[in-house]
């Protein structure tokens, strides 16, 4: 029976377990709708269109209609082993509708009338596939850093394949590329996962092709213990920083913030009465609350007063609006000019936003603090390969040394898994029992 062959073909093609469960059911429903013989179905594109419309008429959401159409496409490729009918454009259209429906449920979704404003400026001299990639990333409200990373990986992939036409390649080329990163490139697992996400976004979200399971060789890099600065080293470094950089040092070490999280803080995220800092859209798109260090409370209040004067000057010059996530920008069109939304650590000069093309004041760049940190680390003669993120490592380690509960530290750091937090137990000053070296008894 062809249904049995279909199930076996899905398993052999390494489709996901949910696909193996639901695709045969959608395919059976498709056959029943048209009254076709399960053993020798004859159908074309119009049959699939009619079936999809019938599902829409009874209120089936777009993501389920996508699965239904995808089951027909999978049957064509795996059982009939032909390319007709080609339903890739239908799958792409349904995926876009599904994304919009998902956004509508979460944040009112992008209004098609505002699509041009959301997409912003895209270089027409770039290859068509890169232009499409940028457009789809921006429509989904993904970060500019993510856009740049995805564009970089897609360019690298297409360069290795020898063509700018991504449609010429498929799962085999993607699998070989990811395997090459692990075997020849010796990259970290996170780097390989980023490349995989970029390529799957290209092929599944833009080109409408479902690869199922990609059995690429996994990157396996040895885990390293984090570099932690001792309390005396923190005390040695802090006096070397002045002004805004000193305040950033205190906030990162005192609240356990990542470098990017610190740069992205806004005025409203510092809650003096409650005694905490709100970290919004952190790693994994999660919000969390962490402690507000008393040591930098007065300096933060002084910084906010300085910001108020700077913001008023920017408003007078017509540059007093800051970037907001694309959904909030549409929902609250005047919020970007409110003082509460201004960056806590603003750049010295205004600049043109690379997406919207609007001149505005952004937060300080990565090099602003990072270069100063390396300069002062060298000046202090501390022989450790530390980076700004080491301040976050030091925050966690020193809390645990002071007897803080590991679950509390996990929440303050925003770790999804407590095992990530437990690595700091290995770098504590006295992990476990305070043992004495046998050499000390000589």
| Residue 219 · residue 188 · CB < 8 Å | yes
389 catalytically annotated = yes
Which residue among 47, 361, 398, 415 is the active-site one?
A: 415
Give the end-to-end CA distance of the chain in Å, rounded to a whole number. Answer: 80
Question: Tokens for 33?
Answer: 């709708």
Catalytic residue at 259?
no
Distance CA 237, CA 370 (A): 14
Residue 34: CB partners within 8 Å, gap ≥ 6? 43, 47, 50, 51
Spatial contact of 327 and 142, defined as CB atoms under 8 Å apart: no
Residue with tokens 């998902």: 102
Residue 145 · residue 198 · CB < 8 Å: no
Q: In what side-by-side order are the strands of the sheet with 276-279?
A: 270-271, 276-279, 288-291
Annotated catalytic, 311?
A: no
Q: What stretch of H or E contains 317?
A: none
Six-digit token pair at 64? Answer: 């389920």
Catalytic annotation, pick one of 138, 258, 264, 360: 258
Q: Which of 15, 26, 203, 424 is catalytic?
A: 424
* Active-site entry in 196, 266, 326, 392: 392
Q: Does the active-site annotation cover 81?
A: no
> Of 45, 283, 297, 362, which residue is the catalytic one?
283
Tokens representing 304 are 């906010």
Q: Return the bridge partners of 360, or none.
A: 351
Residue (of 318, 317, 261, 255) closest to 290 by Cα position: 255
- Catalytic residue flag (residue 25): no
Q: Which of 45, 77, 100, 389 is catalytic?
A: 389
Q: Are 274 and 291 in contact (CB under 8 A)?
A: no
> Which residues are 276's β-sheet partners?
271, 291
Q: Tell me if residue 363 is catalytic.
A: no
Indicate which residues carry an active-site annotation: 258, 283, 389, 392, 415, 424
């Amino acid at each position: 029976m062809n249904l049995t062959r279909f199930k076996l073909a899905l398993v052999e093609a390494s489709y996901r377990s949910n696909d193996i469960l639901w695709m045969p059911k959608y395919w059976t429903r498709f056959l029943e709708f048209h009254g076709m013989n399960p053993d020798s179905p004859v159908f074309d594109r119009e049959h699939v269109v009619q079936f999809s419309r019938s599902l829409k008429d009874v209120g089936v959401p777009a993501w389920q209609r996508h699965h239904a159409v995808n089951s027909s496409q999978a049957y064509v490729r795996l059982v009939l082993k032909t390319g007709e009918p080609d339903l890739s454009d239908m799958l792409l259209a349904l995926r876009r509708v599904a994304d919009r429906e998902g956004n509508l449920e979460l944040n009112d979704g992008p209004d098609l009338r505002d699509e041009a404003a959301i997409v912003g400026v895209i270089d027409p001299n770039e290859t068509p596939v890169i232009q499409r990639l940028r457009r789809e990333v921006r429509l989904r409200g993904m970060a500019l850093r993510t856009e740049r990373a995805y564009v970089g990986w897609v360019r690298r992939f297409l360069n290795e394949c020898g063509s700018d036409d991504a449609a010429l390649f498929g799962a085999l080329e993607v699998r070989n590329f990811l395997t090459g990163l692990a075997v020849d490139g010796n990259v970290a697992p996170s780097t390989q996962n980023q490349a995989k996400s970029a390529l799957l976004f290209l092929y599944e979200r833009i080109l409408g092709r479902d690869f199922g399971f990609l059995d690429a060789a996994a990157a396996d890099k040895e885990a390293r213990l984090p570099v932690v600065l001792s309390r005396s080293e923190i005390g040695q470094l802090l006096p070397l920083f002045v002004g805004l950089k000193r305040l950033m040092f205190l906030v990162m070490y005192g609240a356990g913030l990542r470098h990017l999280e610190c740069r992205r803080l806004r005025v409203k995220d510092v809650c003096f009465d409650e005694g905490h800092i709100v970290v919004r859209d952190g790693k994994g798109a999660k919000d969390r609350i962490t402690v507000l260090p008393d040591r930098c409370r007065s300096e933060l209040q002084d910084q906010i007063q300085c910001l108020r004067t700077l913001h008023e000057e920017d408003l007078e010059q017509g540059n007093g609006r800051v970037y907001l996530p694309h959904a909030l920008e549409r929902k609250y069109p005047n919020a970007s000019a409110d003082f509460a939304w201004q960056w806590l650590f603003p750049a010295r000069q205004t600049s043109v936003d690379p997406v919207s093309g609007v001149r505005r004041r952004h937060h300080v760049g990565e090099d602003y603090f990072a270069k100063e940190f390396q300069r002062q680390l060298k000046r202090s003669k501390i022989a450790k390969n530390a980076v700004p993120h080491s301040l976050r490592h030091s925050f966690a380690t020193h809390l645990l040394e002071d007897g803080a509960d590991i679950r509390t530290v996990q929440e303050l750091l925003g770790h999804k898994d407590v095992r990530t937090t437990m690595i700091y137990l290995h770098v504590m000053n006295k992990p476990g029992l305070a043992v004495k070296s046998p050499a000390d008894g000589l």
